Amino acid sequence: MPVSDSTAAVGDSAHTGGVADADERSAVSRTSQVVRQLRRNSASRVGLYVIGLVTLVALVTTIDADLFDYQFAATFWYHPENDPAGSTILLPPVGIENSFGTGTWAHPLGTDHRGRDVLVRLVYGTRIAVQVGLIATGIGMTIGTVVGAVSGYYGGWVDDVLQRFVESLYAIPFLILVIAIMSAFGRELGIAIIGVSITTIPVFTRLIRSQVLSVREMEYVEAAKAAGVRDRHIIFRHIIPNSFAPVLVQSTLQVGVNILIVASLSFLGFGVQPPTPSWGQMLAHSRQYMIVNPWFSLWPGLAILATVVGFNLLGDGLRDAIDPRSND
């Protein structure tokens, strides 16, 4: 849970000497205040539940797919290849009729163009969305934060060079940048994660740089400088931890954005390649069957929407809890 992470990070940062002791106490009490605020906010509770569910599903399906080669899916879940009656393609959801037949409980959400169960593929598609969403945001946040902190702290030519670099990344529309990266280095999960991470870097660099510019002049940073503390120490132990709150909010929202990017990539055919299921790819397939089985187009979109809403609800809730003045 991101909330407890924040406690750990802020707490760790403060074990570094007299200057930060006051910070530690206030950070801990602030964190518990934030947690209390979040609990009271029903919207962020819903967000947390959605994220918890989606992460759990992603974890279970990842273990099954990567360690057991889809054994769990094959044994406990319906698998078209094992169906003696043969699989009917493009079945509608249970109880609804179309030109291919009537939906049954064997396939609650219907089947796809190859007779595979839509629900099972939807569940296994969670894996790609969550993996890319979380890991890419994590990598982008880490690099972006360090670059932004260094840029803001040193100023001068270091800042100039780093800012031009970040602006360049910003200038290429992110979808096109990731597509170019994936065409160059391969349409695999790892490459997708790297590509999306790179588009995430500028978001955090800008955010943290503006934070650092205001934190840089604070008394405790001045005091640390005067006491002869090394720059690296000041950046990693004082400046970054003290800019943590907005980064946490932005990370939560960014996971949602990145999940949308992954889905878009898959939709355009540049994501993870079949037969590995992903939500965007399911939507791309469904495009050809919109007239005969429009239901097929409905479910993957709903899955994306619900997941992204979850991260946005939590992100908004965190922002309100951290900054009670914000009205949003």
Partner 1 sequence: MTTTGYIGRRLLQIVPVLLFVVTVTFVLINSIPGDPVRILVGPAADAAAIEAARARYGLDQPLYIRYIRYVAAVATGDFGTSIHYGGVPVTEKIFERLPVTLLLLASSFTLAIGSAIPLGIFAAKNRNNGYDHLARITSLIGVSTPSFWVGLLLIIVFAYYGDLLPPSGLVMPWADPASVDGATSRLDVLATAASHLILPSITLGTLQMAAITRIERSSMLEVLNKDYVHLARAYGVSERTILRRQAFKNAQLPVLTVIGIQMTTALGGAVLTETVFNINGMGNLIITAVRAQDYQLIMGTTIFFAIVFVLGVLVVDVLYAVIDPRISYGGGAGE
Q: Which residues bind partner 1 (CB under 8 A)?
A: 155-156, 159-160, 163-165, 167-168, 170-176, 179-181, 183-185, 213, 256, 260, 263-264, 267-268, 270, 280, 283, 286-287, 290-291, 294, 297-298, 300-301, 304-305, 308-309, 312-313, 316, 326-328
| Token code pair at residue 65 | 């797919």
Closest distance of CB 20 from partner 1, Å: 26
Q: How far is the CB of 164 from partner 1 (least distance, A)?
A: 5
C-beta of 50: minimal distance to partner 1 in Å? 11
Overall size of the chain counted in residues: 328
Beta carbon nearer to partner 1, 84 or 325: 325
> Cβ 309 to partner 1, closest distance in Å?
4
For 306, residues 6+ apart whose C-beta sits below 8 A from its C-beta are 50, 54
Instruction: Tell the smallest beta-carbon distance from residue 323 to partner 1 (Å).
Output: 11
**Residue 224 to residue 231: CA distance in whole angstroms:** 9
CB atoms under 10 Å from CB of 290, counted, come to 10
- Alpha-carbon distance 122 to 120, whole Å? 5
Q: CA neighbours within 13 Å on the CB side: how many for 42?
A: 0
| Phi, psi of 17, deg, nearest 5 | 130, 175
User: At 315, which amino acid appears?
Assistant: G
Q: What does 2-40 look like in DSSP terms, one character per residue?
A: HHHHHHHHHHHHT-S-HHHHHHHHHHHHHHHHHHHHHHH
Cα(3)–Cα(1) distance, rounded to whole angstroms? 5
Min dist. Cβ of residue 71 to partner 1 (A)? 31
Measured from the CB atom, is 218 or 290 closer to partner 1?
Answer: 290
For 310, the enclosing helix (H) or strand (E) is: helix 295-322
Q: How far is the CB of 131 from partner 1 (least distance, A)?
A: 18
Q: Are 31 and 6 in contact (CB under 8 A)?
A: yes
- Beta carbons of 280 and 265 less than 8 angstroms apart: yes
Q: Which is nearer to partner 1, 230 or 287 (CB)?
A: 287
Say which DSSP state 187 is in. S
**Helices 295-322 & 279-286 angle (0-180, nearest 10):** 140
